[in-house]
Structure formats: structure tokens, C-alpha cells
């Protein structure tokens, strides 16, 4: 029997890929979008209805940026019975016969989940990132706000075993079910063909960085370039301020790919021409590294769709390191000279390149769906037994 699932959260790239996949595999999905940016009435050419909670009204507190979770938590704690959220969710539950409420990403949708507990529908939350903050004080505040709702969830989907251990240690979670399930994308997001490698033209390594915060990590890119390694990055206005003449021969920019080119494999195919994909952040500005230790960032998940080796500095993205080391699909470097030596080792890189292509099939949502499907049905069936 098809499960009737309500997604209550923000329609990010992950949700826009995952929810249509659920719909095609026997789920009746409805969306209540909690973002302050409205989306069309249906998701990306599907029949999934999407209701916008705020109808494109900008938040007066938008300047808080990543602290949106804090704004929401504060607002809802002062007005626990927010009519807009409750009436929309209650109406959807009654009309659609919702059996499970689902949310995902970091802390952004947790305040809404706190409100809808009253409807006695089992809530499952997929933590792609936790904690969301990178500063010690902010993490402490985040954990205080989230402790009660995280403990009350009927199901928790954790990106890594490290994240699960973190929540056990910090929150002492003892109720509900837990599963470790790493973010993955449908096979249509994966590469369609292999392009000739750029390094075959000039015998120099070519890497791609697919993050949007290039400005923050440019000091790292400068060090990499000084070792004679080409780096390709997405073009941004702020980036142009950093492009000095001495780097222009080794820094290359490409235009941002829109969602339609992610969903049809164009972006993944584009990445196949590089020797490696660099995954990194500005770790130095963080006073708390738990976010990086526990999570599998989106840029890492997308690197997997291309089947190219992944490289990253050691000691930060520990969950990602475990995947790389387990499948031998890339390398961890201790310093920039170590990175140069590894990229220059043709035998080693050929080994990683072969593995990355072969192992990429392990990371499709098709090959991992049974795990999350079984988990969600267990949550639903267990709730039904206790009615």
C-alpha cells in the first residue's frame, strides 16, 4: 500500500531529487515548503503538490543568514500556536491522510516540527548536516533549542555513524529509530559519458572545486596553484577581486550550472574531464568543527556522481574521509606538497580513477533505496500498531 508522506521543510536540491524519486517508487508525496522563497505549485515537472507557507515573503531577519534556525526557534517559542503553519499542516494531514511527516537538511525545519507534534503523526528527520553552526557558542545554543524535538522524533536518518554517535553523546537519544544513510542521488544525475581529461593536453593536473564559497577558500587555491596544479572554479563576482595576474594561467572559471543540467547528468559529465575534485572549506574560521566531522556535504555527494577521484585536506571532513578510504576513490593530503606528490603519481591516480568510475554506481539512490524504504515503512507500521 502506498505510503502517504508529507514533506515539511525547505525545497533544497536534495529534497527536489529525493521526493520525486519517492513518488516514482510508490509514495504519495505532498510538500509544505517552509522556505521564505516560494516554489511552483508542483515540483519540477512532477505531480507532487507543493504548498508555500510564506508565499515569497522575505524574512525581516534574513540578515541572520545561517542563524535562520535561531530566528525560527525564537519566534515559535514566543508564539507556539502559529496559525499559518498549524492550519496548513492540519488541513494537509486530513485531506491527504498523511501517515508520516518527513523533513531534511540541518536545523532549519526543526522549529516547525516542534509545532506539528500535536497531530500525533510520526515524524522522521533526515540530518544531512548537524550541527549546522561552526562557532562553539552558537552550537551550544543550537543544541539547547533542538534537544527536546530531536529526542521526540520517531525516526532519525543520520548522514554518518559519527553524527549518530554525536547525537547519542549530546542528546542521549533513546526513543525512536535511527539509521545511518548517506545522501545519494538518482542515477539520472550521474555522468552520461567520459570526456577526455584536460591533463592530457599539458601534462599538468587539473582539479575542479564545485563549492559556491570560492572566495573563502581562495588562500588554499593559491597554495595549490603555486605547485603547478590547475584549479577550475565557478565564476562569482567576489572571485574577480582575487584573480591576480600571477594566478590567471592556472585558475579557470566556469559558469554555474542550473538545476536542469544537474538533473540530466550534464554537470556530472562536465566533471569527468578533471583529474580530481577538491572538497574543502575555510576550516580556520570555525571554532567548532563538529559540523565538518559529522556531515557529508552536498559538494561531496555531487562529486560522487562524476566518478572522479576526490581529494581533501586531512582531519576535517572525517565522515567523507571514511568513504574515500573504504572505496579507494581518492586521497587525503597532509599539506600542499603532499597533494602535488599524489597528483603527480600516475600509477596511484590511475588506480583512484578506475575505482572512482567503478564505485560510482554504489552511490546511486536506486542502489540504496531499499534501506531507506524499509526504514520509513517500519516507522509507519509501528505507529499504526499503537493507534
Q: pLDDT tens for residues 12-34? A: 899 999 999 999 999 999 999 88
- Nearby residues of 60 by Cβ (< 8 Å), 6 or more positions away: none
Per the model's pLDDT, the better-predicted residue between 34 and 276 turns out to be 276
Instruction: Name the residue ranges covered by the structural domains of the chain.
Output: 3-186+365-385, 189-363
User: Before 131, cis peptide (omega within 30)?
Assistant: yes
Q: What is the CATH number that goes with domain 189-363?
A: 3.40.50.2000
pLDDT at residue 148 greater than cutoff 60: yes
What pTM does this model have? Answer: 0.91
The answer to whether 146 touches 113, Cβ cutoff 8 Å, is no
Residue 354 in grid coordinates: 578506475
Q: Which long-range contacts (CB under 8 A, 24 or more apart) does 144-151 make?
A: 145/69, 145/70, 145/73, 145/77, 145/107, 145/110, 145/111, 146/73, 146/107, 146/110, 147/171, 148/114, 149/110, 149/113, 149/114, 149/117, 150/110, 150/125, 151/175
Contacts of 96 (CB under 8 A, 6+ apart): 4, 6, 28, 30
Confidence of residue 72 (pLDDT cuts 50, 70, 90): low
Give the chain's length. Answer: 387
Exposed / middle / buried, residue 366 (Cβ in 10 Å: 0-12, 13-18, 19+): middle
Contacts of 30 (CB under 8 A, 6+ apart): 4, 5, 6, 7, 48, 49, 51, 92, 96, 98
pLDDT band, very low/low/confident/very high, at 244 (cuts 50, 70, 90): low
pLDDT tier, 369 (very low <50, low <70, confident <90, very high otherwise)? very high
**Res 81 pLDDT > 70:** no
Same topology, domains 3-186+365-385 and 189-363? Answer is yes
Q: Using alpha carbons, select from 219, 304, 210 the residue that is nearest to residue 253.
A: 210
Distance CA 225, CA 340 (A): 10
Contact indicator for 124, 27 with CB cutoff of 8 Å: no
pLDDT recorded at residue 66: 44
pLDDT attached to residue 60: 42
d(CA 269, CA 255): 15
Residue linked to cell 539512490: 365
**Domain 3-186+365-385 -> CATH class:** alpha beta
Residue 85 has pLDDT above 50, yes or no: yes
Helices within 153-196 (DSSP H only): 161-171
Helices (H), 119-217: 136-152, 161-171, 199-202
Quote the DSSP letter at residue 195.
P
Tell which wins on pLDDT, 12 or 340. 340
CB 367, CB 175: distance < 8 Å: no
Average model confidence (pLDDT) across the chain: 88
Distance between CA 90 and CA 295 in Å, rounded?
32
**Which of 188, 249, 256, 247 is closest to 220 using CA atoms?**
247
Q: Check residue 35 and give its pLDDT.
A: 77
pLDDT score for 114: 80
Rounded CA gap, 305 and 290, in Å?
26
The string of pLDDT tens digits covering residues 43-71 is 777 889 888 876 654 444 343 344 555 55
Each residue of 310-334: pLDDT tens digit? 999 999 999 999 999 999 999 999 9
The predicted pLDDT at position 83 comes to: 74
Amino acid at each position: 500500500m502506498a505510503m502517504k508522506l508529507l514533506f515539511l521543510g525547505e525545497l533544497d536540491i536534495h529534497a527536489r531529487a529525493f521526493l520525486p524519486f519517492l513518488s516514482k517508487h510508490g509514495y504519495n508525496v505532498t510538500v509544505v515548503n517552509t522556505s521564505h522563497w516560494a516554489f511552483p505549485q508542483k515540483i519540477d515537472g512532477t505531480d507532487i503538490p507543493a504548498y508555500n507557507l510564506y508565499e515569497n515573503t522575505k524574512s525581516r531577519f534574513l540578515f541572520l543568514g545561517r542563524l535562520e534556525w535561531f530566528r525560527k526557534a525564537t519566534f515559535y517559542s514566543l508564539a507556539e500556536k502559529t496559525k499559518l503553519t498549524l492550519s496548513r499542516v492540519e488541513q494537509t494531514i486530513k485531506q491527504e491522510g498523511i501517515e508520516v511527516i518527513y523533513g531534511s537538511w540541518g536545523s532549519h525545519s526543526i522549529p516547525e516540527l516542534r509545532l506539528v507534534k500535536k497531530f500525533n503523526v510520526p515524524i522522521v528527520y533526515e540530518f544531512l548536516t548537524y550541527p549546522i553552526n561552526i562557532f562553539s557558542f552558537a552550537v551550544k545554543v543550537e543544541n539547547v533549542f533542538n534537544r527536546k524535538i530531536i529526542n521526540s522524533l520517531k525516526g532519525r536518518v543520520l548522514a554518518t555513524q559519527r553524527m549518530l554517535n554525536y547525537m547519542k553523546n549530546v542528546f542521549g537519544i533513546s526513543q525512536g529509530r535511527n539509521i545511518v544513510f548517506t545522501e545519494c542521488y538518482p542515477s539520472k544525475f550521474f555522468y552520461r559519458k567520459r570526456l577526455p581529461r584536460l591533463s592530457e593536453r599539458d601534462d599538468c593536473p587539473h582539479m575542479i572545486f564545485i563549492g559556491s564559497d570560492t572566495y573563502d577558500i581562495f588562500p588554499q587555491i593559491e597554495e595549490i596553484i603555486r605547485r603547478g596544479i590547475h584549479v577550475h572554479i565557478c565564476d562569482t563576482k567576489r572571485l574577480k577581486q582575487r584573480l591576480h595576474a600571477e594566478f590567471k594561467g592556472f585558475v579557470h572559471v566556469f559558469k554555474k550550472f542550473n538545476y536542469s543540467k544537474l538533473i540530466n547528468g550534464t554537470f556530472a559529465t562536465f566533471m569527468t574531464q578533471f583529474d580530481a575534485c577538491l572538497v574543502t572549506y575555510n576550516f580556520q574560521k570555525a571554532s567548532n568543527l563538529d559540523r565538518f566531522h559529522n556531515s557529508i556535504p552536498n559538494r561531496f555527494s555531487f562529486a560522487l556522481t562524476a566518478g572522479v577521484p576526490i581529494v581533501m585536506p586531512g582531519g576535517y571532513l572525517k565522515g567523507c574521509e571514511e568513504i574515500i578510504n573504504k572505496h579507494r576513490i581518492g586521497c587525503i593530503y597532509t599539506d600542499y606538497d603532499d597533494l602535488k606528490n599524489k597528483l603527480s603519481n600516475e600509477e596511484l591516480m590511475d588506480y583512484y580513477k578506475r575505482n572512482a568510475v567503478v564505485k560510482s554506481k554504489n552511490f546511486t539512490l536506486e542502489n540504496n533505496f531499499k534501506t531507506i524504504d524499509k526504514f520509513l515503512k517500519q516507522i509507519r507500521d509501528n505507529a499504526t500498531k499503537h493507534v
